[in-house]
Amino acid sequence: MKRRLLVIIIAFCVSFVSMIALSLFSMARFSTFTQFSDAVDHTNLVIIDIRSAEVALRDVGLTERGYMITHDTLYLRGLNNSIDSINKYVDTLEKITADNPEQKKNVTLLKASVAIRIAAVRANIEYVDTSSSTTPSKFYFDSRQQMIECSHQLRAMRLAENKLLAERTQGQQFYQALTTSTLKYLLVIFCVITLILFAIMIKELRERIRYQEELQTKVIDLRRSHNELQEIAFAASHDLQEPLRKIQVFSNMLLYKNSDLVTEQNKITISRIISSASRMQLLISDLNALTSLTKIDEQKEIVDLNITCQYILFDLEEQIKAISASVDVYALPLIKGFPNQLAILFRALLDNSLKFTRDAVKTVITLSCETINGHELVSINPSLAHKKFYRITCSDNGIGFDNQYINKVFQIFQRLHAEESKYDGKGIGLAICQRIMANHEGYIIGHGEPNMGAKFKLFFPVED
């Protein structure tokens, strides 16, 4: 599962990087295409301005000759307009060709030629106005020569711009085709990657659905097995009670009603039978109590553990006085849980501490609480490290235990002491505690040192 998830993450990362790279490449190509398009538009603008300057230059010649022939002042007005136009176009050419050194040089020469041409035209007009001769003056021929010079310069500029236009148009067409093909390839690659990832996701989804169905089937089987085990445990605990009671009753009848017929050795044997039957009866009761915890019929409530422990200490008062024990209960939190189960939990812990005491040492038991993060539970589940818990610690200075057997103490019917030991116990109390903590989505861990004491920590999740 983790490997497939890693493959999907890597595939997404590769596709993401590929899409970014292709997009950047496409943007670069599109930017270059835009630059060439702008350059083509700029060249066309220069060519249009050159043609306009050529037209204005011809208009100057036409109006000049018209005035020479007719002496009509309307031609003078047209001549002045043409001169203003050609000056305007030359100034525009100077601005829009500032980035082209060759054309900038040509514009400088054109500007000088136009100035000479206009000066010659004005001198010729003045000559026409003051002379009665019909023969063209020297100024007329000078202006014609300058017009030819200006035309040549404008033509050279137009040819240069046409050449530049051809180069830029070729570049524009090339990058236009490249941009189009890049976008096509980008779309194809995007579609391919998307289809691959879609296929991977569909496959993963099918696997998850299949896994979920298998898990659901196993959960149903597990519930069925669990219910069957509960029924078996319930039936066994109840069905075994009757034979045990009969063993006790008939043994007592044999022991007391026919005591004169029973030898002393047989009386001892019968007493052991009764004792074993009683012990078996208690084990069955405890087993029934443990199995009943797997089926929760009550609702969770807000439980004040301080009050719960007060009631428990009141019930254990005689036992505490009998061994002169000291039980200190510090401030405990409010827990949302099952009141009866929490009472069983703390009673089992206190009863455990009161049971396994050391001789000649005053028994001291403490219950305390603090709010912490679940760093101590990392070995159980690493995700618990940053969750908040109420850690309730029950510690004593009893006989303790070797910490290497910590897992054994939570197993059912597992005792660290021999059957003939003076310490009474059936090895089910801590198993019940662990079951109750599981019902509260909590955890219990223990730590012990021989002849030093034991410490059990209860971790209840802090609810918002």
pLDDT in tens, 350-370: 888 888 888 878 889 999 999
The segment with the largest mean pLDDT, out of 209-218, 250-259, 263-272, 327-336, is: 327-336
In the chain, the percentage of residues whose pLDDT exceeds 70 is 84
What percentage of the chain reaches a pLDDT higher than 90? 7
* pLDDT (tens digit per residue) in 297-331: 678 889 999 999 999 988 888 888 888 888 898 88
What mean pLDDT do residues 374-380 have? 86
pLDDT at 43: 86
Q: Measured between alpha carbons, how far is 90 from 172 in angstroms, rounded to an integer? A: 28
**Domain parsing of the chain, residue ranges:** 2-203, 240-292, 298-461
Sheet holding 453-461, edge to edge: 326-329, 364-373, 388-396, 453-461, 443-449
What span, in angstroms and rounded, lies between the C-alpha atoms of 179 and 185?
A: 10
What confidence tier does 420 reach under pLDDT thresholds 50, 70, 90? very low
Q: pTM value?
A: 0.51
Q: Taking 70 as the threshold, does the pLDDT of residue 226 lie above it?
A: no
**Residue 459 backbone phi and psi in degrees, to 5:** -115, 105
Q: Which of 87-91, 164-168, 195-199, 410-414 has the lowest mean pLDDT?
A: 410-414
Instruction: State the Cα–Cα distance between residues 185 and 190, nearest whole angstrom.
Output: 8
Task: Tell me which of 1.10.3210.10, 3.30.565.10, 3.90.650.10, 3.20.20.70 is the CATH number of domain 298-461.
Answer: 3.30.565.10
pLDDT at residue 145 greater than cutoff 90 = no
Question: Per-residue pLDDT tens for 159-217?
Answer: 888 888 888 888 888 888 877 887 787 778 778 877 887 887 788 788 888 888 888 88
Query: Is the pLDDT confidence value at 425 over 90?
Result: no
Distance of CA 46 to the CA centre of its chain: 56
pLDDT number for residue 389: 92
H/E element, 369: strand 364-373
Q: What is the pLDDT of residue 418?
A: 46
Residue 238 has pLDDT above 70, yes or no: no
Q: How confident is the model at residue 421 (pLDDT cuts 50, 70, 90)?
A: very low
Q: pLDDT-based confidence at 286, cuts 50/70/90?
A: low
pLDDT tens digit string along 3-52?
A: 666 766 776 777 777 778 777 777 877 788 788 788 888 888 888 888 88
| DSSP SS3 for 240 | coil
Average pLDDT, the chain: 80
CATH class of 2-203: mainly alpha
